[in-house]
């Protein structure tokens, strides 16, 4: 395992930027150790909901966690708005960095993460395999 510190810039889209960083390092599996920063807008899916919650304004990333893989990422975030109200959920594309996002990834050289349909949950779930 190795670590990969990242700094995302204003205008970066959080989820695609992390997926691109993983691909640029030739890795197929990583998890988010820590993530903080700010967003100017966010798109999150709340638990048990089909649609996305779209928030616009000054938002702080309080926590960011999840897995990244060649077959897709699964990220959760908790955010606070300018009044300190906290909300969180599944990170969707459209979480745009306002000032910066500081993220530390743990990259696994000996594993591959994919997402495959799971009959028990009805969702594409994480499948972990050794990297060949």
pLDDT in tens, the chain (132 residues): 999 999 999 999 999 999 999 999 999 999 999 999 999 999 999 998 989 999 999 999 999 999 999 888 999 999 999 999 999 999 999 999 999 999 999 999 999 999 999 999 998 999 999 998
Taking the CB of residue 5, how many other CB atoms lie within 10 A of it? 10
Of residues 38, 74, 72, the one with CA closest to residue 56 = 38
What is the reported pTM?
0.93
Distance CA 53, CA 30 (A): 26
Domain range summary for the chain, segments of one domain joined by +: 2-130
CATH of the domain spanning 2-130: 3.30.1330.80
Tokens of 102: 């500081």
């Amino acid at each position: 395992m190795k670590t990969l510190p990242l700094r995302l810039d204003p205008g970066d889209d959080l989820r695609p930027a992390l997926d691109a960083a993983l691909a640029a390092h030739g890795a197929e599996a990583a998890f988010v150790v820590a993530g903080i920063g700010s967003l100017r807008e966010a798109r999150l899916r709340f638990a048990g909901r089909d649609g996305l919650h779209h928030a616009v304004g000054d938002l702080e990333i309080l926590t960011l966690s999840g897995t990244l893989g060649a077959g897709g990422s699964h990220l959760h975030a908790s955010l606070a708005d300018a009044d300190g109200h906290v909300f969180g959920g599944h990170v969707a594309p459209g979480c745009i960095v306002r000032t910066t996002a500081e993220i530390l990834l743990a990259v696994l050289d000996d594993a591959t993460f994919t997402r495959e349909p799971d009959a028990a949950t009805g969702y594409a779930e994480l499948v972990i395999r050794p990297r060949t």
